Amino acid sequence: MKVLVVDDDRGSLLVAQAAVVASGHECIVAVDGDAAWRLYQEHRPQVVVSDLMMPGLDGLSLCRAIRAAESDSYTYLVLLTSHGARDDVLAGMEAGADDYVAKPLDPFTLRTRLLAAHRVTSLHAEMAGYRRALAEQARTDPLTGLHNRLKLSEDLAAFESRSERYGHDYALAICDVDNFKSYNDIYGHPAGDAALQAVAAQLAAHARASDGVYRYGGEEFLVLLPGQSRKGAVVLLERFMTAIQALGIIHSGGTTGVLTMSAGVSAWRPDRRVGRDQLLKEADTALYQAKTAGRNTVAVHGS
């Protein structure tokens, strides 16, 4: 663990530092509360052992600041107090401390507190990992492994906010696998699922690192293209469509004999500040135009 020890008394600081190192942990030291707060923000230690009374931020203020700054991590807070200072102990616990050690500091006592801190912080880290995994699972389409509509909604809101603030162009495209219902009818749903997985893999492989690729629903996919005009988006979508056709997935019910894809594009630009819902409607309309034009093509809203 990484342990931050804060004490303006040099003797206590050295005793605490020695106990931390003897326990096999990395030790960072500070001699006042303000320095401790800066070191906490820089290093994010798992444990903070802090004197109650010290220059700058006192122990209670430091505890409150750390608790307010935590997000998906947990810091185990140990306060150093005087013997018999029951009111100080209670105030420390109310401020967010987990435990306390009375002064003069006993190295053995501090080492036992570090054992408890290791167990607690390890459990919190494990739970944080589970929460991150569940959050990612909630935003991932189980069939294709692409982002799903929940993640799309979050990303579109972020795109809209950044574009309104900085005037950055972006485009989006709704893509649809051509004649997919007949593909399922001819080859069966397991084959249809495999085809969707192959299409998703191609889209992800040919997307730029900054692009977002999502399963929009059924055989539909959506691609977010930051920094792209309508013209640039068409170039990228044609690349995607060529990659899908190059898979060579046989489709006797299609017009080309293999599985293909159509796409509809809409774009945001500084002189055309439309909302994300409007962009989605425009892309869907353009997709319909691509379908009626014979499929395996890209249509652009407003062109």
Residues designated as active site:
219
Q: Give me the residue label for tokens 């898979």.
A: 247
Q: Which of 26, 125, 107 is nearest to 70 (CA)?
A: 125
Q: Which of 141, 295, 287, 251 is nearest to 204 (CA)?
A: 141
Q: Give me the residue label for tokens 């100080």.
A: 88
120 vs 8: CA distance, rounded Å: 27
Q: Which of 58, 61, 299 is nearest to 175 (CA)?
A: 299
**What are φ and ψ of residue 82, in 5° steps?**
-80, 155
79 vs 54: CA distance, rounded Å: 12
Q: To the nearest 10°, the Cα dihedral for 201, 150, 158, 297?
A: 40
3 state SS of 280: helix
